[in-house]
């Protein structure tokens, strides 16, 4: 989960995985994905018990909103070929 | 000892506040002292908190906090500067964009070397807004996919 100077730089990275060609995300979208409602409450006294548990659902909803619905992004098992 | 949720919340905030205030995560003995607990209860409490917050982790075979996202106690290439001080490290490039929520009203600067060329990647955020990116083409990249099905550490 890294930042690169551009997609071309990432593709030249020696550790680049072929499947991760679908793993790019625009910086603005990344800020949104990691800025969902629960993230804004990390300093609240009840963050761990009340806000952190909401994060997975928020993340999934945000990913779906920006069209990243593959197992690669949603963390769901790959379809059996 | 299995602590209640309120104690987990208090320990979580003590750790996070410690990271924010000093750039370093507290030791469990310090967490215990802050919460009025015996030291060994602090150790067990730390382990319970890390179980409840599994996106962070302890250094293997220790009770030392390595990662407590969005910040990291173990230095990474994602250096975070606030008010002109580079005290912090983000867990990864993605979590780096969440550090802004720990410093309300402040400009948070994240600098990292590009893993391809070593040239700098810089972003600045304020209250969740991206106010600067250099170069403007900065992009996030997920190399293994989210989730345990990928079989790789989540931070890669």
Cα gap B10→B31, rounded to integer Å: 9
Exposed e or buried b for every residue in A13-50, given b needs 16+ CB within 10 A? beebbeebeebbbebebbbbbbbbebbbebeeebbbbe
* Closest chain B residue to the Cα of A9, Cα to Cα: B116
Q: pLDDT confidence of A32, banded at 50, 70, 90?
A: very high
Tokens 């975070």 — which residue?
B80
Residue B41 maps to which CATH number?
A: 1.10.10
For residues A17-46, give the mean pLDDT.
97
The gap from C-alpha A46 to its chain's centroid, in whole angstroms, comes to 24
What are the residue boundaries of the structural domains of chain A, listed by start? Answer: 7-69
B139 or B153: which carries more pLDDT confidence? B139
Interchain CB contact of B113 with A (< 8 Å): no
First CA to last CA distance, chain B: 34
Q: Does residue B147 form part of some domain?
A: no
* Closest chain A residue to the Cα of B19, Cα to Cα: A43
| Residues 58-77 (A) with a CB less than 8 A from some CB of B | 71-77
- State pLDDT tens for residues B45-100: 999 999 999 999 999 999 999 999 999 999 999 999 999 999 999 999 999 999 99
Q: pLDDT confidence of A28, banded at 50, 70, 90?
A: very high
Q: Select from B122, B94, B92 the least CA-distant residue to B110.
A: B122
Q: DSSP code of B1?
A: -
Q: Does residue B141 form part of some domain?
A: no
pLDDT of residue A69: 94
- Residue B130: domain span: 79-134
Angle between helices B28-35 and B39-52 (to 10 degrees): 100
Is the predicted pLDDT of residue A80 greater than 80, yes or no? Answer: no
ipTM of the complex: 0.95
Q: Does residue B102 form part of some domain?
A: yes
pLDDT of residue B155: 53
pLDDT of residue B73: 97
Q: Cβ contacts (< 8 Å) between B148 and chain A: which residues?
A: 75
Please state, in angstroms and as integers, the Cα–Cα distance from residue B153 to each residue in B11, B20, B149, following that order. 25, 25, 11
Minimum-distance CB partner of A34 among B98, B135, B137: B98
Q: Select from A21, A33, A24, A23 the least CA-distant residue to A64.
A: A33
pLDDT of residue A7: 98
**Between chains, do A34 and B156 touch, taking CB under 8 Å as contact?**
no
Q: How many domains does chain B have?
A: 2
CB contact at 8 A, B55 and A42: no
- State pLDDT tens for residues A33-58: 999 999 999 999 999 999 999 999 99
Average pLDDT, chain B: 93
Is the predicted pLDDT of residue A59 greater than 90, yes or no? Answer: yes
Interchain CB contact of B128 with A (< 8 Å): yes
pLDDT of residue A77: 75
Q: Does residue B68 form part of some domain?
A: no
Task: Kindly state whether residues B13 and B49 are assigned to the same domain.
Answer: yes
Cα gap B84→A63, rounded to integer Å: 34
B111 or B145: which carries more pLDDT confidence? B111
């Amino acid at each position: 989960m890294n930042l690169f100077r551009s997609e071309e730089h990432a593709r030249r990275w020696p550790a680049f995985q072929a499947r991760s060609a679908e793993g790019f995300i625009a910086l603005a979208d990344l800020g949104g994905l990691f800025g969902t409602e629960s993230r804004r409450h990390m300093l609240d006294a009840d963050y761990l018990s009340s806000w952190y548990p909401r994060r997975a659902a928020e993340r999934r909803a945000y990913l779906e909103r920006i069209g990243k619905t593959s197992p690669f992004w949603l963390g769901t098992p790959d379809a059996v070929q | 000892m299995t602590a209640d949720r309120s104690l987990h919340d208090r320990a979580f905030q003590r750790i996070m506040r410690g990271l924010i205030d000093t750039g370093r995560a507290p030791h469990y003995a310090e967490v215990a002292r802050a919460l009025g607990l015996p030291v060994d209860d602090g150790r067990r409490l730390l382990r319970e908190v890390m179980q409840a917050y599994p996106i962070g982790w302890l250094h293997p075979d220790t009770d030392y906090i390595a990662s407590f996202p969005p910040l990291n106690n173990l230095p990474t290439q994602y250096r975070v500067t606030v008010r002109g001080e580079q005290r912090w490290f983000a867990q990864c490039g993605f979590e780096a964009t969440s550090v802004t929520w720990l410093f309300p009203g402040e400009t948070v600067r994240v600098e990292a070397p590009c893993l391809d060329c070593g040239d700098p990647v810089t972003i600045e955020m304020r209250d969740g807004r991206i106010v600067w990116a250099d170069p403007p083409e900065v992009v996030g990249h997920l190399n293994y996919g989210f989730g345990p099905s990928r079989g790789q550490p989540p931070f890669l």
